[in-house]
């Protein structure tokens, strides 16, 4: 990614022509997704309680719950949760992870076509999932799901500069070799350079919500070589590569981590929460 962030793209903006196909890749190996994908920092849930009202007894609709990375902590807060997940395998793992949480229901359905229940929700939460929902539907349907004064809470995750910085510079050679869509000289942006105004603009354009409030958290996570490769295997862009290219890319990355970084790398995430209230 170029250092001139005016030309940089967020990594959570799938091309509309590929959005539907890419989002289906997550269900191909739900067990791997559950094992490899990280959770969110505890401060995020404090923010969800403070800004969005995700508190004990609150009625929460989670859109795209995956295998429950955010659902499980929300259940521990005492929220009543309906979690909608399009992937049947992902939903099955989520139900297993939430076994014993009596106030949680996991529904296997596309959010776009799922009929909303009569009782409105206090909060609609989407954790690293809102960008996979049809842009023509997501704002209006989220608003319809909420009671007056309810909150839409969208969590977005970005990979940013930090951690084992030299690895993330060096690894671009692997991507340039095996993924022809990789721009030359790609570099991760600094967290301070990530712009969330696209979401605020979409919210405002919908005319269904008040102003958007943002909170940000940074999180460094360290991975062994095998753990990092498992993580990459859960990303839609990696899964969509031809098998030979994907195999070559992962071998190249594994060699770099093992030979140059002692078998471990640290990755920095920016977790951005955007909360907008329905009038």
Give the pLDDT confidence of 110-120 residue by residue, as tens digits: 999 999 999 99
Across the chain, mean pLDDT equals 92
Least confident range from 14-23, 135-144, 203-212: namely 14-23
Q: How far apart are the first and last CA of the chain?
A: 38
- pLDDT the model gives residue 180: 87
pLDDT band at 48 (very low <50, low <70, confident <90, very high): very high
State the average pLDDT over residues 138-159. 98
| Cα–Cα distance, 235 to 231 (Å, whole number) | 7
Instruction: Find, among 34, 84, 20, the residue nearest to 240 by Cα.
Output: 20
State the average pLDDT over residues 78-91. 97
* Bigger pLDDT: 26 vs 3: 26
Both structure tokens of 142: 């989220």
- pLDDT surpassing 70 at residue 2: no
Cβ burial, residue 32 (10 Å; 0-12/13-18/19+): middle
Sign of CA dihedral 187, 188, 193, 198: positive
- pLDDT surpassing 90 at residue 156: yes
pLDDT band at 223 (very low <50, low <70, confident <90, very high): very high
Residue whose entry in the numeric block shows the structure tokens 């989407």 = 126
Both structure tokens of 13: 């903006």
pLDDT band at 3 (very low <50, low <70, confident <90, very high): very low
DSSP, collapsed to helix, strand or coil, labels residue 224 as strand
pLDDT band at 81 (very low <50, low <70, confident <90, very high): very high
pLDDT band at 6 (very low <50, low <70, confident <90, very high): very low
- pLDDT surpassing 60 at residue 211: yes
- pLDDT surpassing 60 at residue 185: yes
Alpha helices by DSSP H, 77-116: 88-97
- pLDDT the model gives residue 139: 98
- pLDDT surpassing 60 at residue 7: no
| Cα–Cα distance, 249 to 228 (Å, whole number) | 13
Both structure tokens of 253: 């990355």
- pLDDT surpassing 50 at residue 1: no
Alpha helices by DSSP H, the chain: 16-24, 30-36, 42-47, 71-76, 88-97, 138-145, 165-170, 172-178, 197-206, 225-233, 236-239, 243-260
DSSP, collapsed to helix, strand or coil, labels residue 270 as strand
């Amino acid at each position: 990614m170029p250092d001139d962030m005016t030309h940089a793209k967020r990594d959570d903006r799938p091309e509309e022509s590929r959005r539907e196909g890419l989002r289906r890749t997550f269900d191909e190996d739900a067990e791997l997704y559950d094992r490899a994908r990280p959770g969110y920092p505890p401060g995020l849930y404090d923010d969800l309680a403070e800004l969005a009202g995700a508190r004990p007894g609150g009625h929460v609709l989670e859109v795209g719950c995956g295998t429950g990375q955010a659902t499980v902590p929300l259940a521990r807060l005492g929220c009543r949760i309906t979690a909608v997940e399009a992937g049947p395998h992902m939903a099955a793992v989520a139900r297993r992870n939430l076994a014993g949480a009596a106030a949680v229901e996991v529904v296997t359905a596309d959010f776009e076509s799922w009929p909303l229940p009569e009782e409105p929700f206090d909060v609609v939460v989407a954790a690293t999932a809102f960008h996979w929902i049809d842009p023509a539907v997501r704002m209006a349907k989220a608003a319809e799901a909420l009671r007056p004064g309810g909150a839409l809470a969208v969590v977005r995750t970005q990979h940013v500069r930090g951690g084992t910085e030299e690895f993330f510079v060096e690894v671009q050679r692997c991507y340039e070799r095996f993924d022809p869509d990789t721009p030359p000289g790609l570099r991760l942006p600094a967290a301070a350079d990530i712009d969330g105004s696209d979401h605020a603009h979409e919210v405002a354009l919908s005319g269904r919500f008040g102003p958007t409030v943002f909170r940000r958290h940074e999180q460094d996570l360290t991975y062994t070589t095998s753990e990092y490769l498992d993580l990459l295997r859960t990303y839609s862009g990696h899964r969509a590569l031809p098998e030979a290219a994907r195999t070559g890319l992962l071998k190249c990355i594994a060699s770099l981590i093992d030979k140059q970084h002692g078998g471990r790398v640290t990755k920095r995430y920016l977790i951005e929460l955007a909360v907008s209230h329905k009038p």
